[in-house]
Chain A
Amino acid sequence: MAGESALVTTAADAGLVVVAGLCLLCGYRVIRGPTIPDRVVALDAIATNVIAIAVLFALKTGRGLFVTVSLVLAIIGFLSTVVVAKFVTEGDIIVRRE
C-alpha cells in the first residue's frame, strides 16, 4: 500500500478536480433549466457526482469511512429525487386517505 499510495493519491486528486468541475457545469443546468424536471435531473446528477467525490476522497486519504459516507449520500439523493418528483406531480408529499 505504501508504494502505490503516491500514484493513487495523484489520480484521486485529478479525479476530484474533474468531478468538482463537472458539478459546477451541472449547476449551469440547475440555474438555466427551462422546466422544473430539468433542475431535478441536474440536481440528481450533482448528487451522483458528490457520491463519486466522497469515494475519491476515501481513495485519496485512505480512510474507508468515506465509502460509507458515499452510501448515505446515495440514499439521501434517491430519497430527495423521489420526493421532489412526487411533489411536482401531486403538489403534496404525504397523502392522507380518509
Chain B
Amino acid sequence: MTSLPPPGALLIVALIAVGCFFLSVGTLGLLRLPNVYNRMHATSKPTTLGTASIFLASFVAFGPGGAGLPSLVGILFLFLTVPTGAHMISRAAQRIGVPFMGGVTWPTREDDPDAGTGGDPDGEGGRATGGKNDDSG
C-alpha cells in the first residue's frame, strides 16, 4: 500500500462512473421502450445528465482555468440544446403521423384550463389546436 489516491482523483472517477451509468440507462431506454416519444423521453434526459457528469469530471480534472471553463460552457450548451432538439423531433414525429400509445391524445383547448382565460396563452393555445387539426384532419 503505497499511498491513498488524492480526493480529486476519486471525485473524477466517481463522476465518470455516474456519467457512464446515466448513459447506459439512456441507451437501455432507447432500446427497450415501445414508442418514439417514449424513446425520446428516455434518451434526452439521462443522456444529458450523464454527459454533464462527465463534463463535471473534466472540470474537476482541469481546474477553473484552461479547459475547465469550456466544460461548464458545454454543460450549459447541453442543457439548452438537447431539450430543444427533442422537442423539434417530437413535433416532426407528430406532424408526419407517428401514432401515440394507448389513450394518449394531443391536448385540446378543453383540456387546458388556462387556454380560455388569459390573452397571452391564447396564442400558444391557437398553435396547439392547429397541431391538433393537423393530427385529426
Residues of A within 8 A of B98 (CB): 35, 37
Render B77-91 as a binary contact track against A, CB cut-off 8 A, 1 for contact: 110011011101111
Residues of A within 8 A of B13 (CB): 7-8, 11
Residue pair A67, B74 in contact (C-beta under 8 Å): yes
Q: Does A88 contact B (CB under 8 A)?
A: yes
Residue pair A15, B20 in contact (C-beta under 8 Å): yes
Shortest C-beta distance, B50 to chain A (Å), equals: 7
Task: List which A4-48 residues lie within 8 A (CB) of chain B.
Answer: 4, 7-8, 11-12, 14-15, 18-19, 22, 25-26, 28-29, 35-38, 40-42, 44-45, 48
Residues of B within 8 A of A52 (CB): 19, 23, 50-51, 54
Render A61-98 as a binary contact track against B, CB cut-off 8 A, 1 for contact: 00011011011001101100110111011000000000
Number of A residues with CB within 8 Å of any CB on chain B: 49
Q: Does B40 contact A (CB under 8 A)?
A: yes
Residues of A within 8 A of B70 (CB): 64, 67-68, 71
A-binding segment of B60-68, B105-113, B121-129: B60-68
Q: How far does the alpha carbon of A68 sit from the alpha carbon of B72 in the complex, in Å?
A: 11
Pick the contact of B24: A18, A28, A55, A89 (CB < 8 A).
A18
Chain A, Cβ-Cβ closest to B48? A48
Residue pair A64, B92 in contact (C-beta under 8 Å): no
A residues at B contact (CB < 8 Å): 3-4, 7-8, 11-12, 14-15, 18-19, 22, 25-26, 28-29, 35-38, 40-42, 44-45, 48-49, 51-52, 55-56, 58-59, 64-65, 67-68, 70-71, 74-75, 77-78, 81-82, 84-86, 88-89
B residues at A contact (CB < 8 Å): 3, 5-6, 8-10, 12-13, 16-17, 19-20, 23-24, 26-27, 30-31, 36, 39-40, 43-44, 47-48, 50-51, 54-55, 57-58, 61-62, 66-68, 70-71, 73-74, 77-78, 81-82, 84-86, 88-93, 95-96, 98
